[in-house]
Structure 1
C-alpha cells in the first residue's frame, strides 16, 4: 500500500498492523486464522500489596502484538509492532523478552517499512540480527525448521508434537508456561524418554497442564491406556469432575479390588492400589505392560521414597512412560524426586508466577509471644491442670502445644486472628495450621470463643478439618474449598490441608505450627497462591506465630532443586502406608505419640512484637507502606514537583496521567484511604510524593468561585461550568473530563449533551477548551 509522504506517520500502530504487517505475513504464506495470533497477553502483570491494599502493575504486563505458530500448539516466533514514527527495530527488545519466556528462537520488530529479525539459532556464517524488506518475511517452513533445530527436534519426532490441544469451545488456551511445560514433556516423550519431571508452583494449573499432555498423547496414539495416580481422594475426585471431564465415558476411578480393562483413562489412589498383603495389590490384577502412561501427582511424597510401598506400583509398570508432577521436588540424601524421574523438563516457580501476575503475592505478619521467645520456667512445685508435676526446666517455642499447652496462649492466638479478620473481612477463608489434631481442636474452641456473636449466629463458622473427622470432615472440606460456599470460614488443621487442596479463595494462612521442612513449608504457602478475581482474592496474608516464615530467607525456598547430602530427619513422617481406610484422606498421625502433654491454665501470655512485611520486586520480603511505594513510583515518573505540575497542567486530560500511574500500580482510591477521601487526585499525588499540604476538592472549588471566573461566559455556560465545578468537588477531575457527565442531573435540565456542546458552547472544540480552562482555574495556585 502506498500513501503520500508523511501520511504513513499519521497512522496508528493498529493501522500499521492492518495495512502493512499482516498483509506481509500473509504474502509470506502465513495463514491468518491458524498461524497468526494478534494481541496475545502473555502475562497480566504482577499484583502489588501494601497494607490492606492491592493493585496490578499493568506496566509490567507482557503483551505480544503477534505470535506466529506452525500449528496452534507450537509457537515459533513473536513480532512486536510500532507505529511509523518509530524505527523498524524499536520493538526488538520487547520482542526478545517475549521470545525468552516462550523459549522460541525468532523475534521480529516492524514499523510497517520492513522487519528487523533476531535469530537465536543462526546457521554457520549467518548474522544474529538482520534487516528484511516487507516482501522478504520468512515463510512458515523456514521458521518451523529453525524452531526444530533450536529445540533439537528430529523430523521423525515432529508428528507427536503437532497433535492439537483439546478445545472446549470456550476460547481457553494454555498460558505461555503451561504451553511450554506441555511441549517440553511431549518433546521428551517423542525422543523416547520414559521418565519426565515437571516442577510447577501450586496454583499454576498442574492438573490442566497434565490433562492437555495426556489428551495429546492419547489422541496421537502414543498412549492408549493411562493411569493418573494421586494420594488424596479429593485430588482424584476434583480431577475426575473438573479438568479431566472431557475424557467422558472412557475414564473411570479405580476401586479397591480390580482394574477394569474396558476403560482407557484410569484415576487411582496409591492407597487403593497397594497394601502390605499380596491380596491388597490391586495393581497386579493387570499385566505389567497394561498401562502405556502413568502420571504421578505430588510425586515429592510417597513415590519419591525408594522404600515406599507406593513406589512398587511404578516399578511394576516400569515399561510405561512415567511423568512426575510436583510443586516442591523432595531432594535429600534419602529421598529424591529427580533421582527417579531425572532433572525437570520444565520448571515454573512461585517467584516467577508472582512476578508474571498469575499467582497471588503475600504479606507476612510475624508475631512474637513472650513465653515463646523468652521461655517459661514453672515455679517450684507447679502442677498442670490434672495435678501432674511440671519439670523444673525452661519450656520454649518448640515445646508449645507439643509438650506444654498454655491455655492462655491458645486464646491469645485465636484473639489475634479474629482481630485481623474483623479489621478486614471476618468472612475471609482462613486455614490455621496447628501442631497436631489435639491442638487443632483446642484452637477451634478458642476461635469460637474469640469470634463471639459471629460463631453464635453461624455454627459452621469454624471447623476442625483433620484426618480423623471422617464423613463430617469430608463435607467440611468440600464446603471450605467451594468458592460459592460461605461456610466454614475458618479451618483448623495440622497436616490434612498442607497440600493438594484447591482452596483458591483462601486469604489468610495462620502458622501456629513448628515447620522445619522446606517441602512442607512450600506446600502450606501454596494454599494461598491462587488468584480469584471473581471473588476479590488478589493476595493473601500469612500470620506467623512460630517463626516458620524464616524459611523465606533460605536460598532454597525458590531456588533450583538440588540433592542435599544430609538426612531429611526434620521432615514430617510420610503418611501411613497403607492407611486403615484407602478411601480416607488420612495424612495425620494420631496424637498417641507416647508423650503426655502438660496442660496449664492461668499463665499470662502477651504479644511483645509484631512486624509486617511484603514481597518486593526481587522476591524478598520488605517492610514498606503503600504510601512509600506510591512515593517511589511517582518520583520515578516525575523527578520533581515542578516537573509534575508542568506535565499535569500541560495534559489535555488529567485522566491520562492518572491512568499512567495506575499502570504502575498506584490506585488513587488506595491513596485516599491513606490520606483522606475528600482530597483530589492532584493533591493526593503532591502530598504523597512531594510533601505538599493538600487541599480538599471542596476547598479548590470554593477558591475558583471566589475569583468570579465565570463572568466571561454567558448565563447558560456559567450554569454548566458551575455544575461541573460542583461535580469536581463531589467526585474528582475524571468525572468532569468525561462528556457523559452531561447526561446527568442538573445538566439534563439545561439540554441534551449534544445541545449543550453545540448551542451553549458553540461546538466540541470550544466545550473542551472551556473544561481545560476550568481545570486551570482549579489548579491555578499550583503555579505559585
Structure 2
C-alpha cells in the first residue's frame, strides 16, 4: 500500500512514471510525453469581460511515433481507486483519437481498449511494453484485419516540421491521420469538415506532405475558385513545398507542356482549367486523365460536386484519382450534396468544438430593430425621388435594398455601427454584409459620412470590397492583413462571405437576407479566428435583419442556445405554404416568344428600384438586444453584467451576512476578486465602468449584490485615522501604518497584503523591509499589525 497522503504529482513521480518507463515508454524519446496541453481553454464572454477556462491536459500520451499517438494515461492520487480516472481518460482518448485509455493511482493500472471494447485491471509492473502495445494495436485495428502495407508506410511518415512550421493541434493531427489512413485503405472519395479558422489549408498541406513522402501519391491537383485562396495557400502553409509547386496559368502553360509536367503539386482555379465557352483546357494541359492520383477540392460546398456543375467535368475527367473535399459547411440540398459525392465526413471539427476548446473566438449578438423593420407602408399616392408612385403594399426587411431603397435607413444603420465602434474600438476591423453591390456602395457612403473624422485622416477607413469594384478588390489584401490598419470597415455583398482569411475582424454586420445555413455559417466564420497577441479574443455580430434567428435552427452547430421567447420568423413557400419548401424542382421553360432557354429576346431597360428619401420615410432604431453567455454556454438575452455579477454572488452568498462572514474569514481580501475572476467577473473593470474606481471591493460587492450604500476607500481610511489606534506603536511604526493607509486609500486593499510594497516609496525612505519589520518586533509583528489595520478598515460602518 502506498502513502495515502501523497499528491497526484508524487504518485506520478514515484510510481507511474517509473512503471511505464521500465517498459520502454521513455520520456527522453519520441514515445512518451507528460502533462500535454491539448486545448487552450474555452473563452467565455460576460458583457465586456472575457474569461478563459482552464485548458485540458493529458497526464501521459504514448506514441507509436510523433505522428501517431496510441494511448493516454490519467493519473490520480492514492486516495482514489485504480479505475477512478478511466472515464476521464476515455473522454480524452476519444478527443485525441487514440485506441487505448489507462488510469492509475500508483497501485496498478485500469485499461479500456477501444478496438475491442474490453476493460481490465492489472498490477503496476504489468503495464504493456512499447512493442507489446504497438503489436496489439496493429493486430486489432480495422476490425481485426490489421494494418495494410500502405497504412504502415503512411503511419511511419512523420508530419512536416521546421522552424516556422507549428506542430499540429490535436484535431488537425486527427484530421490528417484519419484522411491518410482512409486513403491508404483504398477509399477514393474523402470529405473533411473543419470549421472556419481551424486550419483547413494547413491540414491539407500536411495530408499532401505525408502522402507524397510515403509514396502513396506522386501528383496532386489542388482546386479552388478564387485567386486569393490559391495565393494564400502557396505563400503560407505550402511554403515548405514551394520548389515542387506550380500555379496553373493556361495562357502560359499551354505552350510549355514539358515544363508543366515537372512539378508534384499543382494549384489551379477551376476557371483556368475549364476555359471560355465550354473549352476543356484541362484536357489540353493534361491529355492523360490519370496524370493526377490526388485531387483536393477546397471549399467544396461551393458547387464543385454538383451533377450539373461545369466544374464537375474536371473531377469526372480525373476520376481515377482520389478526391478530397474540404469545407467548413458541407452543403446538403435537394439540388446539391457534398456527402453524396465525397461520402460521410471522415472527420468533423465544428465551430462548437473550436469554441469549446478555446481555439476559436466566441461572440455576442446585438440584434437591432428599427421602426420600419417589420412593416412600412407608403402613404396613398406617395412618390419616390424620381416622382414615381410607390406601389401600395407593406414593405419589410426582405424588401429594403432588394425591392425598394430607404435612404434614411442607410444613415441610421451607419450611425448605429459607428456608435458601437466609438464605444469599443474605432480601429476594429468590420465587415458589413449588404443586400447587393449597389447597397454596399450606399452603405460605404453612409459610413464615410458617419465617420468623417476618421476618413479625413485616411480615406480608406471605409472601402467597398465587391466583385465588380477593382479599387476595393485591390484593398482586400490590406483589409485581411494583421499588420495593416486600413481599410477598417469593408462593405460587401458576397465576396467576403467565404474563404477569405480575415484574422482581425471584430465586428460582423448583417444587413442582408440570408436563407442558407451554409452561407450563414460561412459569414459567422469570418470572425472566429483568435489573435490573442493582437488583443482579439472575441467578436460581435450586429444584426439588422433578424438573420440570427438561424441560431435556433437544428442545423446550427455553434454554442448559442436561443431564449425560447425569441421570435422566430420562418420563410414559408408561397406555393406549398410550408417551411422549408417541399415543392418538386421545376425545369426552366422556353420563352413563349423566342422559344430559347434562356430567353434571347431584346430586354427592356432595367427598371430602377423606388428610392425614398428622409422626408418620405424617417428611420430610427427602436430596440436593441445584446446577447451574452454564462459559464455554461446558455444565452443570457437581456441580462446586464451587473445582473450577472449579482446573480453569481447571491447564488453563493444568499445574504449580506453570509458574504460579510466569508469576507472576514479571508486571510487575503484580494482572494475574493480572484475567485470572481474564475467566473468571468473582473471587479476592477466593472468598478471603472460604473464610475466607482475609488470604492473598496467589499463595498462595491455589497452595493451590486445587496443594494448597500457604498463608502469610498478615502472615507474608510479617514475614519480609521480619527481613532487612537496607533499610539501603542513607536513614531516610525506609526508612520509606516499611516503610509499603508494612504496606499489603501489610493490603490486598494491588495497594497496592504503585498510585502513587496515595502520596497517602494515612501517606505524606502524609512528603511529596508527587514528594518521596517523590526519596528514591529519582526515579520510576525508586522503582519499582525497589518491584519489589525484591515480589521479596523472593515469595522467602519
TM-score, normalization by structure 2 = 0.87
1:140 aligns with 2:113: no
8 Å contact kept, 1:480–1:488: yes
Counterpart in the other structure of 1:240 = 234
Counterpart in the other structure of 1:630 = 645
Q: Which is worse superposed, 612-621 or 477-486?
A: 612-621
**Pair 608,324 (structure 1): closer, same or farther in 2 beyond 3 Å:** same
**Pair 741,87 (structure 1): closer, same or farther in 2 beyond 3 Å:** farther
1:40 aligns with 2:39: no
1:607 aligns with 2:606: no
8 Å contact kept, 1:334–1:568: no
Q: Please give the per-residue CA displacement for 1:733-772, whole angstroms capped at 9, x wherever unaligned.
A: 3333333222211121122334444x34555555444444
Q: Please give the per-residue CA displacement for 1:296-335, whole angstroms capped at 9, x wherever unaligned.
A: 1100002131111111111111111111111111101110
8 Å contact kept, 1:361–1:615: no
Counterpart in the other structure of 1:720 = 736
Q: What secondary structure, in the 3-state scheme, does the structure 2 residue paired with 1:312 have?
A: helix
8 Å contact kept, 1:110–1:116: yes
Superposed counterparts of 1:183-262, under 5 Å: 183-257=177-251, 258=253, 260-262=260-262
Q: What secondary structure, in the 3-state scheme, does the structure 1 residue paired with 2:460 have?
A: coil
8 Å contact kept, 2:104–2:110: no
CA distance in structure 2 between the aligned counterparts of 1:88 and 1:699, rounded to whole angstroms: 57
CA distance in structure 1 between the aligned counterparts of 2:103 and 2:719, rounded to whole angstroms: 51
- 1:350 deviates by 1.2
8 Å contact kept, 2:46–2:630: no
- 1:409 deviates by 1.2
- 1:519 deviates by 1.1
CA distance in structure 2 between the aligned counterparts of 1:205 and 1:30, rounded to whole angstroms: 31
Counterpart in the other structure of 1:586 = none
- 1:436 deviates by 0.8
Task: State how many pairs are aligned.
Answer: 744
RMSD of equivalent CA atoms = 2.9
Q: Which is worse superposed, 699-708 or 348-357?
A: 699-708
Counterpart in the other structure of 1:752 = 768
**Pair 37,595 (structure 1): closer, same or farther in 2 beyond 3 Å:** farther
Counterpart in the other structure of 1:281 = 281
Superposed counterparts of 1:279-358, under 5 Å: 279-282=279-282, 284-286=284-286, 287-358=288-359
Counterpart in the other structure of 1:701 = 717
- 1:632 deviates by 4.0
**Pair 744,596 (structure 1): closer, same or farther in 2 beyond 3 Å:** same
Superposed counterparts of 1:8-23, under 5 Å: 9=5, 13-23=8-18
Q: What secondary structure, in the 3-state scheme, does the structure 2 residue paired with 1:373 have?
A: coil
8 Å contact kept, 2:301–2:338: yes
Counterpart in the other structure of 1:777 = 792
CA distance in structure 2 between the aligned counterparts of 1:536 and 1:139, rounded to whole angstroms: 46
Aligned partner of 1:158 among 152, 156, 161: 152
- 1:515 deviates by 1.0
Superposed counterparts of 1:524-673, under 5 Å: 524-558=523-557, 594-601=606-613, 602-603=615-616, 604-615=618-629, 621-623=635-637, 624-635=639-650, 641-673=656-688
Aligned partner of 2:171 among 168, 172, 177: 177
Counterpart in the other structure of 2:69 = 75
Q: Which is worse superposed, 307-316 or 145-154?
A: 145-154
Counterpart in the other structure of 2:46 = 50
8 Å contact kept, 1:378–1:394: no
**Pair 395,357 (structure 1): closer, same or farther in 2 beyond 3 Å:** same
CA distance in structure 2 between the aligned counterparts of 1:595 and 1:234, rounded to whole angstroms: 35
RCO comparison, higher one (Cα < 8 Å, 6+): 1
**Pair 650,392 (structure 1): closer, same or farther in 2 beyond 3 Å:** closer
**Alignment gaps of 5+ in structure 2:** 560-579, 587-603
- 1:669 deviates by 2.7
Aligned partner of 2:112 among 101, 110, 119: 119
1:28 aligns with 2:28: no
Q: What secondary structure, in the 3-state scheme, does the structure 2 residue paired with 1:65 have?
A: strand
8 Å contact kept, 1:351–1:619: no
- 1:276 deviates by 4.5
- 1:271 deviates by 1.4
Q: Please give the per-residue CA displacement for 1:540-599, whole angstroms capped at 9, x wherever unaligned.
A: 111111111111111112289xxx9957999xxxxxxxxxxxxxxxxxxxxx99452112
- 1:370 deviates by 2.1
- 1:422 deviates by 1.1
Q: What secondary structure, in the 3-state scheme, does the structure 1 residue paired with 2:459 have?
A: coil
8 Å contact kept, 2:195–2:350: yes
Q: What secondary structure, in the 3-state scheme, does the structure 2 residue paired with 1:173 have?
A: coil
**Pair 496,694 (structure 1): closer, same or farther in 2 beyond 3 Å:** same
**Pair 530,647 (structure 1): closer, same or farther in 2 beyond 3 Å:** same
CA distance in structure 2 between the aligned counterparts of 1:639 and 1:120, rounded to whole angstroms: 47
Q: Please give the per-residue CA displacement for 1:172-193, whole angstroms capped at 9, x wherever unaligned.
A: 3222221211111122112111
CA distance in structure 1 between the aligned counterparts of 2:13 and 2:383, rounded to whole angstroms: 83
8 Å contact kept, 1:499–1:524: yes
TM-score, normalization by structure 1 = 0.88
CA distance in structure 1 between the aligned counterparts of 2:694 and 2:553, rounded to whole angstroms: 45
- 1:449 deviates by 0.9
- 1:462 deviates by 0.2
CA distance in structure 1 between the aligned counterparts of 2:468 and 2:778, rounded to whole angstroms: 75
**Pair 240,672 (structure 1): closer, same or farther in 2 beyond 3 Å:** same
8 Å contact kept, 1:683–1:695: yes
CA distance in structure 2 between the aligned counterparts of 1:781 and 1:569, rounded to whole angstroms: 78
Q: Please give the per-residue CA displacement for 1:452-482, whole angstroms capped at 9, x wherever unaligned.
A: 2222222111000000122x22331111111
**Pair 355,121 (structure 1): closer, same or farther in 2 beyond 3 Å:** closer
CA distance in structure 2 between the aligned counterparts of 1:129 and 1:768, rounded to whole angstroms: 54
Q: What secondary structure, in the 3-state scheme, does the structure 2 residue paired with 1:187 have?
A: helix
8 Å contact kept, 1:518–1:557: yes
CA distance in structure 1 between the aligned counterparts of 2:109 and 2:605, rounded to whole angstroms: 68
8 Å contact kept, 1:465–1:493: yes
CA distance in structure 2 between the aligned counterparts of 1:41 and 1:32, rounded to whole angstroms: 16
Counterpart in the other structure of 2:589 = none
**Pair 37,525 (structure 1): closer, same or farther in 2 beyond 3 Å:** same
Q: What secondary structure, in the 3-state scheme, does the structure 2 residue paired with 1:413 have?
A: helix
CA distance in structure 1 between the aligned counterparts of 2:75 and 2:281, rounded to whole angstroms: 60
CA distance in structure 2 between the aligned counterparts of 1:79 and 1:774, rounded to whole angstroms: 50
**Alignment gaps of 5+ in structure 1:** 571-591
Counterpart in the other structure of 2:409 = 409
- 1:637 deviates by 5.2
Q: Which is worse superposed, 412-421 or 279-288?
A: 279-288
Counterpart in the other structure of 1:63 = 57
**Pair 370,626 (structure 1): closer, same or farther in 2 beyond 3 Å:** same
CA distance in structure 2 between the aligned counterparts of 1:371 and 1:735, rounded to whole angstroms: 55
Counterpart in the other structure of 2:443 = 443
8 Å contact kept, 1:106–1:120: yes
- 1:123 deviates by 5.2
CA distance in structure 1 between the aligned counterparts of 2:680 and 2:43, rounded to whole angstroms: 8
- 1:451 deviates by 1.1
CA distance in structure 2 between the aligned counterparts of 1:634 and 1:171, rounded to whole angstroms: 45
Superposed counterparts of 1:467-506, under 5 Å: 467-470=467-470, 472-506=471-505
8 Å contact kept, 2:109–2:127: no
CA distance in structure 1 between the aligned counterparts of 2:351 and 2:97, rounded to whole angstroms: 19
Q: What secondary structure, in the 3-state scheme, does the structure 1 residue paired with 2:51 have?
A: strand
8 Å contact kept, 1:529–1:539: yes
**Pair 25,275 (structure 1): closer, same or farther in 2 beyond 3 Å:** same
Counterpart in the other structure of 1:579 = none
**Pair 265,738 (structure 1): closer, same or farther in 2 beyond 3 Å:** farther
